[in-house]
Chain A
Amino acid sequence: MTAVPTERVAEVFVEVADTLVDQFDLIEFLHMVSRRAAELVNASAAGLLLADPKQGLQFMAASDESTRLLELFQVQAHDGPCVDAFRTGLPVVNADMTTASHRWPKFAPRAVAAGVLAVHAIPLRLRRNVIGALNLFSSETSALRPADVHIVQALADVAAIGILQERAVRRGEELTEQLQGALNSRVVIEQAKGAIAQQHHVNVDEAFQLLRRYARSHQRKLGDVARAIAINPAGMPDLFGSEQPAGDPV
């Protein structure tokens, strides 16, 4: 992998810190962190998984949310480098999927089939707790260098703070309460995607794009728009009617 320019790293951390200052939308924040993580180390995709007290890991956000990759992220709730990073609290770096079918029998073959040849998983740490993992997919088996791992780990640590910052600091809440709320907000997004797909005759990937574009152009939180749609699908606004002309910022 190419060396990460220092200026770019600095820019990303400033951007993340900026987002954390204001009242922010959790899912949007995690998307941004995923995109930046993928960009910084030239990964083809990056995703974040959070711990659920009931079922282990659950997918929260990814740089690319096509259905093909979503499935791959979700399989890792049970089997794969993310589970290992989550359980041990240590990064799993440069895991070669072409030779890993004995180690991760469910995940590795699916990864190779999806064109993912190398996988990296970085634990999301908060003080002594591991609350999830940041996952990077590469379409080539080239190596992530130690310096890259440090950068991604720092980004993962910031993401962990972001996930829990909202009310946690002020109210001294427990981890579980925060995580449960965060996980449910992802479920709401999926329900809204389904409602939009049905209403507007598009697939769920396109539905997500419509949802994001609408939230942005109306300067509303993604989670708020999704909730309104999922609670009352009949009152759904015309999401096509609000398309931005061009230059949709990523």
Chain B
Amino acid sequence: MADDRTAWAHAQIRRQPRRQPGTETIADYLHRLCSATASSLPISGVGLNLMTESGGGGMAGASDSTSEQLEELQFTLGEGPCIEAFVRGQPVLEPDLEAPRATRWPMYSTSVLELGVRAVFAFPLQVGAERLGVLDLYRDQIGSLSAEQTAQAIAFAGIAVTSLLDHQQGNPPGEGAADLDDPLEYRFELYQAQGMVAVQLRVGVAEALARLRAYAYATNRRLSDVAGDVVERRLDLADDA
């Protein structure tokens, strides 16, 4: 659903300069998303990591070179808030890396403190059961994000998810045509439709959502209407493939 914060976050990303004119690659778009997140919130850097359930993954974007280093550090060490957020499927917010509870990442907290980081906020990029990666926010000072800032960070994470799904379907990032939907749309139907399409096409639920969005875009229909047709069995995307 296109809520106010998502619209605001899209506007922040649009304000970031493009690396080159013309069609933008997903990597360039995610880089702009990280820069926009970093400049819109009271933080010092942002990194975006793509990960797989089997433990693979890699850095997909960062606002600056220190954040890039920080992202790679977690993979090297195999511990940290980013990995924890991914595994648990919920944000991990650590406003003070010197606090006793941060010692649950003994190697990580020591190393990042040396790089001048005092707080980390990690937001999983997920579509229900399927996890795509994590958006990490770094801060050089101790302190929490406010509830509003946390919600804004979640909006940026949501846009990252959408653009990754669009990219799978070959759509240019940041367009989000199917995002504008009835605020009273029946949300659960969309999630149920994802599960149904996953079985129809033998794909994961994240790709199922991408296919639903692509179908809605191609047929110029609302995503919630397409989802409703799938759940009511008026539409089978396997027939359409």
For chains A and B in complex, what number of residue pairs have CB atoms within 8 angstroms?
A: 122
B184 in contact with A106 (CB, 8 Å): yes
Count contacts on A: residues with CB < 8 A to the other chain: 42
The proximity string for B residues 186-225 relative to A, scoring 1 for CB distances below 8 Å and 0 otherwise, is: 1110011111111110101100000000000000000000
The answer to whether B154 has its CB under 8 Å from any CB of chain A is yes
The answer to whether A133 has its CB under 8 Å from any CB of chain B is no
The answer to whether A109 has its CB under 8 Å from any CB of chain B is no
Contacts of B193 in A (CB 8 A): 194
A194 in contact with B186 (CB, 8 Å): no
A194 in contact with B154 (CB, 8 Å): no
Question: When A194-B198, A198-B199 are in contact, do A180 and B90 touch as well, CB less than 8 Å?
Answer: yes
A231 in contact with B89 (CB, 8 Å): no
The 7 closest A-B pairs by CB, nearest first: A194-B195, A181-B90, A230-B129, A190-B191, A195-B195, A194-B192, A187-B128
Contacts of B191 in A (CB 8 A): 187, 190-191, 194
Question: When A180-B90, A187-B128 are in contact, do A233 and B198 touch as well, CB less than 8 Å?
Answer: yes
Residue of A nearest to B183 (CB): A78
Q: Which of B5-27 contact A (CB under 8 A)?
A: 5-6
Contacts A58-B187, A176-B93, A177-B90 known; 5 new A-B pairs at CB < 8 A? A53-B150, A177-B93, A188-B128, A199-B199, A226-B129
Contacts of B61 in A (CB 8 A): none
B158 in contact with A54 (CB, 8 Å): yes
Q: Which of A59, A172, A226, A231 meets B188, CB within 8 Å? A: A59
The answer to whether A196 has its CB under 8 Å from any CB of chain B is yes
Taking the closest CB of chain B, its distance from the CB of A93, in whole angstroms, is 25
Contacts of A196 in B (CB 8 A): 195
Identify whether the interface residues of A are mostly helix, strand, loop, or mixed.
helix
The answer to whether A171 has its CB under 8 Å from any CB of chain B is yes
A204 in contact with B231 (CB, 8 Å): yes
Residues of A within 8 A of B (CB): 53-55, 58-59, 70-71, 74-75, 78, 106, 171-174, 176-178, 180-181, 184-185, 187-188, 190-199, 204, 226-227, 229-231, 233-234
B198 in contact with A191 (CB, 8 Å): yes
24 A-B residue pairs with CB within 8 Å:
A54-B154, A55-B3, A59-B188, A106-B184, A177-B90, A181-B88, A184-B89, A184-B126, A184-B128, A188-B129, A191-B129, A191-B194, A192-B129, A192-B195, A194-B191, A194-B196, A195-B199, A198-B196, A226-B129, A230-B128, A230-B129, A230-B195, A231-B129, A233-B198
Question: When A190-B128, A231-B53 are in contact, do A178 and B90 touch as well, CB less than 8 Å?
Answer: yes
Taking the closest CB of chain A, its distance from the CB of B157, in whole angstroms, is 10
Residue of B nearest to A193 (CB): B192
Contacts of B158 in A (CB 8 A): 54
Identify whether the interface residues of B are mostly helix, strand, loop, or mixed.
helix
The answer to whether B107 has its CB under 8 Å from any CB of chain A is no
Taking the closest CB of chain B, its distance from the CB of A208, in whole angstroms, is 10
A53 in contact with B184 (CB, 8 Å): no
Residues of B within 8 A of A (CB): 1, 3, 5-6, 53, 88-93, 101, 126-130, 144, 147, 150-151, 154-155, 158, 183-184, 186-188, 191-200, 202, 204-205, 231
Q: How many angstroms from the CA of A198 to the CA of B200 in the assembled complex?
A: 7
Contacts of A53 in B (CB 8 A): 147, 150-151, 154
Residue of A nearest to B100 (CB): A172
Taking the closest CB of chain B, its distance from the CB of A37, in whole angstroms, is 21
Q: Which of B5, B128, B144, B155 meets A191, CB within 8 Å? A: B128
Question: When A188-B129, A190-B191 are in contact, do A78 and B91 touch as well, CB less than 8 Å?
Answer: no
Taking the closest CB of chain A, its distance from the CB of B109, in whole angstroms, is 15
Q: How many angstroms from the CA of A38 to the CA of B6 in the assembled complex?
A: 36
Residue of A nearest to B158 (CB): A54
Taking the closest CB of chain A, its distance from the CB of B135, in whole angstroms, is 13
B198 in contact with A195 (CB, 8 Å): yes
Taking the closest CB of chain B, its distance from the CB of A163, in whole angstroms, is 13
Contacts of A106 in B (CB 8 A): 184
A194 in contact with B93 (CB, 8 Å): no
Taking the closest CB of chain A, its distance from the CB of B55, in whole angstroms, is 15
Question: When A54-B3, A172-B101, A197-B196 are in contact, do A191 and B89 touch as well, CB less than 8 Å?
Answer: no
